[in-house]
Amino acid sequence: MGKEKKGLKIISPNGHLGFAPTKEESFQIGVAAGPDYYCCDSGSDDIGPAPLGSDTSVSHYKWQKHDLELMLLAARKKEVPMIIGSAGDTGTKSRVDLYVQIIKDLAEEHKLARFKLAYFYSDLTPDYLIDLLQQGATIEPLDQRENKVLADLQKTDRIVAVAGIHPYIKALKMGADVIIGGRSSDCAVFAAPAIFEGYPENLSYYLGKVLECASFCAEPYGAKESVMGYITQDDVKIKALHPKQRCTIASVAGHAMYERANPYYEYFVGGMLDMSQCKYEQYNDKTCRVTDPIFIPKSGQVKVKLEGSGKIGEKFIGIAGVRDPYTIKNIHKVIEWVQEQVEERFAGQDYQLNFRLFGLNGVMGELEPIKETKSHELGIIVEGIAPTREMAEEVTMIGTRQIFYARLPEVKGTAGSAAFILDEVLATTPAYEWTLNHVISVDDPMKFFEVKQIEIGN
């Protein structure tokens, strides 16, 4: 510790490490400015429940390695810490192990001097949480979900707890040079080192909130570019590093408050950030200065978020296109016909048949009568889900082909009104659903997170 006199610089190279490769020009500009920490979030629930449920990454391995390599070599050259949160998109044990192995491989490949690598897992099992429930634990649903926790746990395949700043601070206290974290709050990756170095919680959490998506807080829009965060005892400054981007009052404030039910508040393990009193000013052409966020600590028990995913079934998709104006106008009747044909074949069996329509005035449309549309063509994605691959394939095939055979009134003697059909439906990854979007009350925010440390390098 001890940087609080001069302030602290943290670079954020990418809003989701590995999801698409980090742009190297702005990253190297940031490297030249001498960051005290290299920090990056590598996960999100925006990618849906399938990666968690199937325990896989949606990010390409080569892109993940590319981004980790950029950060590791720069951080080790200056002997400053590197922190990665929510490893491998979901932060499961297998994804943390993947990133730990990549770091080991890179250290060997580049003959790096020995350094300390800390890591922690976030995985929990349904049985473990059921036991906690039976012991009196409180698990509550979020976002107005129905409160049926036991039933939700029983249909869950995989669960991660979402860590706050606490395991990262512990790893830093252990002297870690590189930290690979399991599933974590996006901004904890940035707030933790700032709090560890002695900066105020309110400014540290705000810094994390803005840095988590990297250049999304800059304008004009440009993803995968690096930004630099500066924190002192009095303020936070955010600077765009790409030569053609700027961090402005509008871009920084807009990003800080996006995707919130109440845009002025952000909740964390241990407290809440109130951004309603924030003051923004244009510090220079590329930098926005922020002061006066308010952090309200949580007294007593804290709440740790739980994310769970469960498999629904196997999934196939089909693709159809329609150009006939009469069919487009009556597409809801076409879909009704298709649904009837599938139900006739699979009555009483467990399946799902979903339709996504593209082209209704240029956007995806709902299944409702169309009075008029400017579109001359519709694209229809047919999604069939069932317990087995064979059944899912057949559901999807009927659901796709019957668009061609739909029996509409006023159509006489035609061979069909669909312009084209993809005759072979395509297998996709299985279908999963979010089974847990809950919080569990705990006395210790480290309850689910054990930090381990090893030494690697030459």
Q: What is the CATH number of the domain that holds 409?
A: 3.30.70
Q: Is this structure's pTM higher than 0.85?
A: yes
pLDDT digits (tens, 9 = 90+) for 387-431: 999 999 999 999 999 988 888 877 666 655 555 566 679 999 999
Q: Tell whether 107 and 236 lie within a shared domain.
A: yes
Domains of the chain: total:
2
Question: What number is the average pLDDT over the span 108-123?
Answer: 98
Is residue 145 assigned to a domain?
no
Q: Tell whether 57 and 94 lie within a shared domain.
A: yes
Is residue 283 assigned to a domain?
yes
Is residue 131 assigned to a domain?
no
Q: Which residues contact 105 (CB under 8 A, 6 or more apart)?
A: none
The residue segments making up the domain with residue 348 are 311-434
Q: Tell whether 255 and 383 lie within a shared domain.
A: no
Alpha-carbon separation of residue 274 from 163, 200, 204 (angstroms): 20, 14, 13
The confidence score (pLDDT) of residue 144 equals 82
Is residue 2 assigned to a domain?
no
pLDDT digits (tens, 9 = 90+) for 216-265: 999 999 999 999 999 999 999 999 999 999 999 999 999 998 867 677 77
pLDDT digits (tens, 9 = 90+) for 347-396: 999 999 999 988 765 444 555 545 555 677 888 999 999 999 999 999 99
Is residue 305 assigned to a domain?
no
Cβ–Cβ under 8 Å, residues 399 and 338: yes
Residue of 228, 225, 197, 196 whose CA lies nearest to 211: 228
Is residue 152 assigned to a domain?
no
